[in-house]
Chain A
């Protein structure tokens, strides 16, 4: 079975802190994604990466950056966390060009005080 692991289920950070959310997948998937989930807004794509060292902006990249130095790992970085970044963050991965099916991690709930 595909396993997508997010490093932290729950985080509490202070405004202005730098935050790292880590995601690791074990199925050699080329594509990886970071989504933000908020009530009533569904899933919004922050960034995605279609291969190592490649990244593309999604719908809401402002305030975020990403890093993909190794194929299995995709990190989301909040350079200076703000209260409006309090949210659930979901990581997903998939094999390129097949069915498009995504495999999700369990999510990281971030609270910024």
Chain B
């Protein structure tokens, strides 16, 4: 069974600095998607970034980028120029494209604090 591990339950970063959240996963599949979701306090979970396993280029969305290491099964999220609004729970997730309707597999999350 696929698993997703986020080894950092909590992280903190100074405003305007850069922080990297770690995620590793275990799978024998070759065709899959990886996601980072953000859940601000008392607010809706939203997608931050998505990476397709067959794409070698790391995905980027404004200040958010990933370091996707397929062989190492690692998928870290880098947040540049951190802002107070980045404070949230961040969840890493995996989806096997060959599995049809099966659910995403989530990590347990990393709580990010941003210090002014």
B95 touches A43 (CB 8 A): no
Within 8 Å of chain B (Cβ to Cβ): is A90?
yes
Interface: A96 (CB within 8 A): yes
Q: Name the interface residues of B19-33: CB closer than 8 Å to any CB of A.
A: 33
Stretch at the interface among A67-75, A76-84, A102-110: A102-110
Hey, what's the 0/1 contact readout for A49-74 against B, CB within 8 Å counting as 1? 01000000010000000000000000
Ordered by A's residue number, 19 sampled pairs between the chains whose C-beta atoms are within 8 Å are A33-B103, A42-B91, A42-B107, A42-B109, A43-B91, A96-B100, A96-B101, A97-B100, A97-B101, A99-B33, A100-B33, A100-B35, A100-B97, A101-B33, A102-B47, A102-B104, A104-B44, A106-B44, A107-B44
Interface residues of B, Cβ cutoff 8 Å to A: 9, 33, 35, 37, 43-47, 50, 52, 91, 93, 95, 97, 100-101, 103-104, 106-109
CB-CB under 8 A from B46, the residues of chain A are 104
Interface residues of A, CB < 8 Å — how many?
A: 23
For the residues of A in contact with B, the DSSP-based class is loop
Closest to A109 in B: B42
Q: How far is the CA of A48 from the CA of B101 in the complex (A)?
A: 10
Indicate if the CB atoms of A104 and B45 lie closer than 8 Å.
yes
Chain B contacts for A31, CB-based, 8 A:
101
List chain B residues, Cβ under 8 A from A106.
Answer: 43-44
